[in-house]
Amino acid sequence: MSASASAPSVSLPIGKGISDRLRKKASRHVKERIIEFLLFCAAAFSVFVTVAIVWVLVKESWVFFETVPLSDFLFDTQWTPLFDDAHYGIMVLLSGTITSSAVALVVAIPLGTVIALYLSEFAGFKLREIAKPFLELLGGVPTIVYGYFALTFLTPILQKIYPDLPGFNLLSAGLVMGVMIIPYVASLSEDAMRAVPMSLREGSYAMGATRLQTALWVVTPAATSGIASAYILGISRAVGETMILAVAAGMQPKLTFNPTEPGATITSYIVQVALGDLPHGSIGYQTIFAAGLTLLLMTLAFNLLGYWLRKRFREVY
Amino acid sequence: MQIPSGLEAGVEGDLLKAEVRDLDFYYGGFHALKHVTMPVHDRKVTALIGPSGCGKSTLLRCFNRMHDLYPGNRYAGGGIVLHPDNTNLLAQEVDPIEVRMRISMVFQKPNPFPKSIYENVAYSLRVRGMRNKNELDDRVEAALKGAALWNEVSNRLNELGANLSGGQQQRLCIARALASDPEIILFDEPTSALDPIATASIEELVTELKENVTILIVTHNMQQAARISDFTAYMYLGEMVEFGITDQIFIKPTKKATEDYITGRFG
């Protein structure tokens, strides 16, 4: 773009009086620069906030890891930061997060996918236009409501089936969390399926395929990358979900992968400490930054996985 | 195979594969086909020509009931009688899936599935429930040979169909349509997205295919119709203006409108 790069080898006329229309306009130039700067500021703001959050987490975690060795953090099987005999085994909280997320995903992924397939490939236009807003409404319910729904409605029902189930448990919280995630999985998967061009469906029907064959053998494989990102988003939501678990899962740190037991997750532990009256700067207070950093690394890993899946399976239609 | 010397001779001497009889079709409120009548001769190439919006693709898509996929489309009278069954394809009691199993289609833009070359061709067999690996292998090979693609892809059957060039993709779609041994293949402007060399290979293929299959082809390219078809139908505004032996239509059309279109004075 630079003018000097194309220095003319022959001298071309640039008349003494450049006509006004051709002359560069200072005002236009300035206006462009101002707009460009404002747009840059808007973009930079989000980057700045992200960097600031990571900075705080890493800095505070650093203080924590100066006292607690990383090996204890990763391999200790107890999480008792507030006891005299303090242990800082993140595996305990991680087990609660993994167990509750697994329960949620067992609900959300099959149901979400089936709903998406139905809405995209089978439902009529009118039904889809009515059903989709309702589905998305399900995702707009505040999670605290889901939490009490799990605690006061679902747990008593589960206790009738399985009388030994404690009042606080990961199973009930996980199941309700699954219901909460369904709309994200279903809505995004449906978008991905709808984006599959009609020509592929017509090709399939023209070969004598049924609707189900077309949906399962042509549309779903063609939408793989979008469906995979829907799943990844579902996983991220499950890992990061807080209130349902804080309310219904019991906040008792315990190394267990059994969903019928109570448990604490990384997020519900952070709520517990943040609401408590631990003095700032104490090692107990510092734990929430280490836990938060773990959570951030987990969601980052899933985002990267989602990015890789999108690139790997992207369909060029 | 006898070559008909005139339209009447053709009708009597040849077998008919299908007959369009007084067909009316609506897109919602739009009357897209008006009392269309036309014979389809067995194992011949019949070309449908006419300006955009004349209804030639609409007529083609009636043959495999593609219009059933979208709400608001309506077969409003008349029908398409398929021989030797002597059955109206458009009748309510006829299963469109069975129709599509016997009348296959190749589209305007190559649309291979996001699957391997092998699975693309095997698709029309798999939807029929064929599981036997040896039988599938044989049929896939035969279809790829029939579509003149085997030599180019025999050593990379597991690659994605989308990795092929445009012309190869279209031949893959033809192989896919051939795999199930259809009686009729519908071509909807099969070369409009291809370069001249790929077009020539598809045209040659179409001429070879008519040994075994009846072919209906919609084309915008009149030279193409003249080169490859035995019969030509000229449509305008949803009506069948003229149907006849291709040579006759192109050399001495009986209607002024046909002559104007063919000579490029209009359209």
Closest Cα in chain B, distance from residue A111 (Å): 25
pLDDT at A310: 80
**In which band, very low, low, confident or very high, does the pLDDT at B8 lie, cut at 50, 70 and 90?**
very low
Closest Cα in chain A, distance from residue B250 (Å): 32
Can you say whether the dihedral through the CA atoms of A22, A25, A28, A30 is positive or negative?
positive
- Summarize pLDDT for A178-197 with one digit per residue, the tens: 999 999 999 999 999 999 99
Q: State how far the Cα of B258 lies from the Cα of B246, in Å rounded to an integer.
A: 12
Answer whether A209 touches B (CB < 8 Å): yes
Range name among A18-22, A50-54, A248-252 with the lowest pLDDT average = A18-22
Interface contact B113-A221, CB threshold 8 A = yes
pLDDT at A49: 95
CA-based nearest residue to A213, from B63, B122, B93: B122
- Summarize pLDDT for A46-98 with one digit per residue, the tens: 999 999 999 999 999 998 998 888 888 888 888 888 787 888 889 999 999 99
Share of chain B above pLDDT 70, in %: 94
CA B110 to chain centre: 14
Q: State how far the Cα of A112 lies from the Cα of A93, in Å rounded to an integer.
A: 27
pLDDT at B4: 38
Residues A136/A183, Cβ–Cβ less than 8 Å: yes
DSSP chain B: -PPPSSHHHHHHHSPEEEEEEEEEEEETTEEEEEEEEEEEETTSEEEEE-STTSSHHHHHHHHTTGGGGSTTEEEEEEEEEETTTTEETTSTTS-HHHHHHHEEEE-SS----SSBHHHHHHHHHHTTT---HHHHHHHHHHHHHHTT-HHHHTT-TTSBGGGS-HHHHHHHHHHHHHTT--SEEEEESTTTTS-HHHHHHHHHHHHHHTTTSEEEEE-S-HHHHHHH-SEEEEEETTEEEEEEEHHHHHHS-SSHHHHHHHTTS--
Chain B residues in contact with A204 by the CB 8 A cut-off are 113, 123, 127
Using the predicted structure, report yes or no on whether residue B267 has a pLDDT greater than 70. Answer: no
User: Is residue B146 classed exposed, middle or buried when 0-12, 13-18 and 19+ CB atoms within 10 A define those classes?
Assistant: buried
Interface contact B107-A202, CB threshold 8 A = yes
Using the predicted structure, report yes or no on whether residue A2 has a pLDDT greater than 60. Answer: no
Higher pLDDT, A13 or A174: A174
Answer whether B107 touches A (CB < 8 Å): yes
Mean pLDDT score of chain B, rounded to an integer? Answer: 89
Cis bond upstream, residue A253 (ω within 30): no
- In the stretch 62-91 of chain B, residues with CB closer than 8 A to chain A read 64, 66, 69, 71
Interface contact B114-A222, CB threshold 8 A = yes
- In the stretch 140-169 of chain B, residues with CB closer than 8 A to chain A read 162
In the block, residue with structure tokens 């597991």: B158
Closest Cα in chain B, distance from residue A119 (Å): 16
Range name among A82-96, A144-158, B34-48 with the lowest pLDDT average = A82-96
Using the predicted structure, report yes or no on whether residue A120 has a pLDDT greater than 90. Answer: yes
- Summarize pLDDT for B127-138 with one digit per residue, the tens: 998 899 999 999
Answer whether B104 touches A (CB < 8 Å): yes
Using the predicted structure, report yes or no on whether residue B7 has a pLDDT greater than 70. Answer: no
Interface test with B, best of A207, A219, A316 (most B CBs within 10 A): A207
Using the predicted structure, report yes or no on whether residue A305 has a pLDDT greater than 70. Answer: yes
Interface contact A200-B111, CB threshold 8 A = yes
Q: Tell me which chain A residue has its CA closest to the CA of residue B105.
A: A206
Answer whether B192 touches A (CB < 8 Å): no
- Summarize pLDDT for A96-107 with one digit per residue, the tens: 999 999 999 999
Q: State how far the Cα of B230 lies from the Cα of B96, in Å rounded to an integer.
A: 28
pTM for the full predicted model: 0.81
- Summarize pLDDT for B136-172 with one digit per residue, the tens: 999 999 999 999 899 999 999 999 998 899 899 999 9
Mean pLDDT of B222-237: 93
CA-based nearest residue to B69, from B96, B42, B47: B96
pLDDT at A316: 56
Chain B residues in contact with A228 by the CB 8 A cut-off are none
CA-based nearest residue to A113, from A190, A177, A171, A181: A190
> For chains A and B, what is the number of CB pairs under 8 angstroms?
69
Interface contact A205-B100, CB threshold 8 A = yes
Q: State how far the Cα of A290 lies from the Cα of A288, in Å rounded to an integer.
A: 5
**In which band, very low, low, confident or very high, does the pLDDT at B10 lie, cut at 50, 70 and 90?**
very low
What is the residue extent of each domain of chain B?
Answer: 7-262
Answer whether A125 touches B (CB < 8 Å): yes
Query: Quick one: tokens of B76?
Result: 């409003």
pLDDT at A43: 95
What is the residue extent of each domain of chain A?
Answer: 26-67, 90-313
Can you name the CATH fold of B7-262?
Answer: Rossmann fold (3.40.50)
- Summarize pLDDT for B79-106 with one digit per residue, the tens: 999 988 888 999 989 999 999 999 999 9
pLDDT at A17: 65
List of residues 6+ apart from A238 with CB closer than 8 A: A100, A101, A104, A105, A108, A177, A178, A181
pLDDT at A25: 78
- Summarize pLDDT for A200-225 with one digit per residue, the tens: 999 999 999 999 999 999 999 999 88
Q: Tell me which chain A residue has its CA closest to the CA of residue B62.
A: A206
Higher pLDDT, B112 or B266: B112
Answer whether B128 touches A (CB < 8 Å): yes
**In which band, very low, low, confident or very high, does the pLDDT at A277 lie, cut at 50, 70 and 90?**
confident
pLDDT at A15: 63
Q: What is the CA radius of gyration of chain A?
A: 27
pLDDT at A1: 43
pLDDT at A137: 87
pLDDT at A315: 60
Interface contact A221-B107, CB threshold 8 A = no
Mean pLDDT of A271-293: 84
Residues B81/B184, Cβ–Cβ less than 8 Å: no
CA-based nearest residue to B77, from B33, B115, B113: B33
Q: CATH code for A90-313?
A: 1.10.3720.10
Answer whether B120 touches A (CB < 8 Å): no
Q: State how far the Cα of B101 lies from the Cα of B125, in Å rounded to an integer.
A: 10
pLDDT at A138: 85
Which 3 state secondary structure label does DSSP give A250? strand
pLDDT at B6: 40
